[in-house]
Amino acid sequence: MPTTQLPTRIRLARRNAKLTQAGVARLLAVQPSAVAQWENPSGTLPTGKHMAEIAVATGVSFDWLATGRGSMASPLSEPAVLTADSIAMDEIEERVLRLLRTVPPSARSVVVKMLEGLARC
């Protein structure tokens, strides 16, 4: 079976994650036109950093995304364990979670540290 081209794999990963180009752009803190270019066979290629962020944002294996080899599924995509503590208890918690998911992966730890600081007040 022939290996798919990188732009096709990026599009497949995005669609599988039920994200729009604009949604991926928000998660990676880039312009939507950058995502469109990455999905265009004659467009520009994402940097290695952006490839890693695409893999995380869409839940696919970095190896598959970068090379087309192996499984599309991320080794980190184990089934979630739901506990009472992992479910939003009210609308505010749900809103915070939704907002956190729009923060670029590289900045999420900053947001968590801010929340931890507020929790100590």
Report if residue 93 sits inside a domain.
Answer: yes
Same domain, 63 and 10: yes
Report if residue 20 sits inside a domain.
Answer: yes
Per residue in 51-106, pLDDT (tens digit) is 999 998 898 989 899 999 888 887 654 444 445 566 677 888 888 888 888 888 87
Where does the chain have alpha helices with state H? 6-16, 21-28, 32-39, 48-58, 62-67, 91-102, 108-119
| pTM > 0.75: yes or no | no
C-alpha–C-alpha distance, residues 25 and 31, integer Å: 6
Q: Quick one: angle between helices 48-58 and 21-28, nearest 10?
A: 120
Same domain, 12 and 59: yes
- Residue 34's domain comprises 6-67
Same domain, 11 and 60: yes
* CATH number for the domain that contains residue 57: 1.10.260.40
| Helix, strand or coil, per DSSP, at residue 20 | coil
Per residue in 5-31, pLDDT (tens digit) is 999 999 999 999 999 999 999 999 999
pLDDT score for 3 = 62
Same domain, 90 and 60: no
